[in-house]
Amino acid sequence: MKEYEQLFTDSIREELKSFAEYRTSYKEIWTLRNILSVLHWDSEITLPEDGRAERGDQIGFLSGLIHSKYAGEKFYVLAEKAREENEKKNLPGQEERRVELEILFKDLNRSRCLSQDLVEEFSVTTSKAHAVWAKARKENQFADFAPILTKIVELCKKQTESYGYETEAYDALLEGYEPGERASNLENLFFNLKNSLKPLVARGKNFNNPFPKEIPILFQKKLGENLPSILGLSSKISRLDPSEHPFSTSLGRKDKRITTRYDLKDPLSSIFSILHETGHALYEAGISEIVGGPSPLHDSVSLGIHESQSRLWENQVGRSREFWEMYYPIFLNSLELKESDLSFSKLFSYINQSSSSLIRVEADQITYNLHIILRFEIERALINGQVQVSELPELWNSKMKDLLGIEVPSDREGVLQDVHWSGGAFGYFPTYTLGNIYSAQLFQAFSKQTPNFPEQVLKKKDFSSLLEWLKKNVHWKGKFFSAEDLIRTATSADPDSSHLVAYLENKLTELESIDHG
């Protein structure tokens, strides 16, 4: 990996003493963040139930410690000295170091807006909220989750006041996930996308679950455990576990964790969760290959770009005909099914069906974005003070009826279905649709340059050309470019939702041509 090769070599290190000191301190903070990620991962995967209260205190303490080190005066002064030194000494990599420090100070100034007390209270509250949400969801009791969600919303509002904003409070939270993006821009983008999707939604077809029987979890685990390595994520640097809500996290350069959940009646639920989370992990693994880290440049540019990687592997790859013609024999063998039990045409049609559904993570490619628009509109109104937590179930159900034409039978399948709000992740949901837009545009650019990719998948089970293209054009760029500039550089075009619409139109045409038997 040659990106940023001249950024901070040993010879330059000798010349830039202050920069070296800043980098040493940054590495310490980076290490502490990875340790915090381990605590969060363990909280969702292996932590005994009675240990949650103490773990919340541990997470709160460590979060406060990291914040004090990162946003404290000592580190700020080190970074200022590094910036001054870099400007004075015209050494190779000067521009890259300038960009690195520019990115650092933008984030640093944002972090310094928050008091340590607010950071600790937010961390402790959201750590405890996950268990409350999981229990409330299981028992279908939104009222049990509402009090702690109300506190989280209050803390998020305090954050917005600390950060400051020009137009609306929601923008201050959106900035943390998608730098430079604004709610008013998303409102226009989503309105236009919704209008483009309407005729496609009408063309969608629904197919019944084709599985002749329940599939034991043991069989599903056997099937899914090898899928990440097929795509290019080595088992030597990754781990797959079950969780209430699938997620991916990086605990270090060579430690990428992914999770999935299993459905006895539909093993595809697990498969597509694995495809999605593997996409995230591949991106993190690619970033870890950039030389000269850790640094602020050794990070993802935005959640929209991060999501583009997971959605690309989940949809453009994972729902393609060539993928399933390759994977179909493996699929049947692992689940102990015969072709007479489950024909390829029925399976492929079911995979690419399109119809309105209750659950976001199980929604098809066309209607998925309507789920995101619903969440964006609700959380924007919530943070801007236009609705209260107590109104969420009714508002959710009303919007589901309006956008998707569905009556919501329970809060478990409605307002309680997502984990994000329990973690205070307001502003996160819009990045999913941005990721869909970016993924379609990236894959189209790759396909033009690599027209024989379908043949590589079918004959060799080889995804390396795609992975290497993504590494070169996305992963190894780190945070050096903005999201828009990254897409523009990789595809030679501005970000444009028309690529997503065209891709979805082609999928519908493909589905319509199949004999569904």
Indicate which residues carry an active-site annotation. 277
* Secondary structure in 3-state letters for 224-261: HCCHHHHHCCCCCCEEEEECCCCCEEEEECCEEEEEEC
Name the β-bridge partners of 256: 238, 250
Six-digit token string for 210: 């084709």
Name the β-bridge partners of 241: 259
d(CA 351, CA 300): 30
Pick from 150, 137, 143, 134: nearest CA to 43: 134
What is the full DSSP assignment across 140-206? T-HHHHHHHHHHHHHHHHHHHHHH--SS-HHHHHHTTTSTT--HHHHHHHHHHHHHHHHHHHHH---
Give burial (CB, 10 Å; 0-12/13-18/19+) of 117. Answer: exposed
Alpha-carbon distances of 510 from 147, 163, 410, rounded to whole Å: 48, 48, 35
d(CA 473, CA 494): 15
For residue 324, count other CB atoms closer than 10 A to its CB.
Answer: 17
